[in-house]
Amino acid sequence: MAAQIGTNLEEAAAWLNRGEVIAIPTETVYGLAGNAFDLEAVTKIYKVKNRPFFNPLIVHCANLAQIKQLVTEFPDAAKRLASVFWPGPMTLLLPKRPEISDLVTAGSPLVAVRIPQHGLTHELLGMLNFPLAAPSANPFGYVSPTTAQHVANQLGDQIPYILDGGSCQIGLESTIIGFDKPGTVTVYRLGGISVEDLMRATGYKVEIHTHENLHPIASGMLENHYAPGKRLYIGNSINQLPAELRDSRIGAIRFHTHSPELPKDHQFLLSFDGSLEQAAKNLFLALRTLDGVDFDCILAEPLPDEGLGKAINDRLRRASAK
Ligand code: TXA
Ligand code: MG
């Protein structure tokens, strides 16, 4: 049975109240959501995504009051970040109360929480009397979905409903933040809130810890995550491709200018005017689009390493690791 795609909040809420798993829109990417307090629903999320149980889920909440019922501490830095960036593309790691199951946090004493900013999902969360556990609504390891159709293409036969909120405004997953050191915010996954904005908002030092492969705290930390099916290389010129691929069919992801080395219709421009926000919004669509064409490989231009460019480069790097 194929998932129904629609905008009916009563229907979405009814499925969730029955312990089902549905897709919901957020400003970052679409999520695969279920009642965070219902272990069967949470188990279904892992199954549908084919996600290993050691990889914990973000809990999406309607407001700060709901979050405070899930955590035992809310440090000052978290308060400041919450007041500036929520609702929005930021996830905080905070000590969990026992009501949050180890299945949700994969055994960690910390729970990942966020208040998403999307009209439909915000309303939906307000109709429910539980928060929603939700990873990105893609099969484990693949590129995250930024439209309802992306979800339908890959998970449509496994879930009953996809709440259609249009294409995601930000297009990159949330920035994941922890508070392990006083005076410091630690970024575990680069995302929709830039490092510069975090520093401005807190005045704190920002440490980036996104590459700890041996002991990943966030699956976004695993290399070879967010990967399309085709081999992806990072570079400005086809000379940076392995020699045997330079004469092959090459699809390119470019920031805002075409490469003179390739036909224009083999190139996906992320932005028309060099906006990193627009590039972020289009990145996953570009990866999916080129993945769906009969190219032999994808050549992606690195973006300026500032603002959202840092998170975009991070996703490209992970997509390129094999
Ligand atoms: O923007 C987003 O964050 C999207 C939307 C749907 O909210 N969600 C998302 O979820 O990207 P997911 O599951 O694809 O990525 C969440 C990341 C994973 O890398 C996971 O390991 C990490 O958050 N995470 C979740 N709970 C955690 C915890 N308790 N401790 C450490 N990392 C955690
Ligand atoms: Mg994901």
Asked if pLDDT for residue 213 goes beyond 50, the answer is no
> What pLDDT is attached to residue 229?
82
314 ligand 1 Cβ < 6 A: no
Residue 253 CA, ligand 1 centroid: distance in Å: 26
Please tell me if the CB atom of residue 177 comes closer than 6 angstroms to any atom of ligand 1. no
Ligand 1 within 6 A of 217 CB? yes
Distance in Å, CA 166 to ligand 1 centroid: 22
Say how far apart CA 166 and CA 27 lie, in whole Å.
Answer: 10
pLDDT band at 214; cut points 50, 70, 90? very low
Q: Look up the pTM and report it.
A: 0.96
Long-range contacts at 248-252 (CB < 8 A, ≥ 24 apart): 248/295, 248/296, 248/297, 249/294, 249/295, 249/296, 250/295, 250/296, 250/297, 250/298, 250/299, 251/290, 251/293, 251/295, 251/297, 251/298, 251/299, 252/298, 252/299, 252/300, 252/301
Tens digits of residue pLDDT in 301-321: 999 999 999 999 999 999 996
**pLDDT tops 90 at residue 33:** yes
Q: Nearest bound ligand to CA 121?
A: 1
Tens digit of pLDDT for each residue in 97-152? 999 999 999 999 999 999 999 999 999 999 999 999 999 999 998 999 999 999 99
Q: Does residue 312 sit in helix, strand or coil? A: helix
Residue range 226-270, pLDDT digits in tens: 778 899 999 999 999 999 999 999 999 999 999 999 999 999 999
Question: Which residues neighbour 275 within 8 Å (Cβ) at sequence distance 6 or greater?
Answer: none
Q: Give residue 223's pLDDT band: very low, low, confident or very high (50, 70, 90).
A: low
CA of 33 to the centre of ligand 2 (A): 12
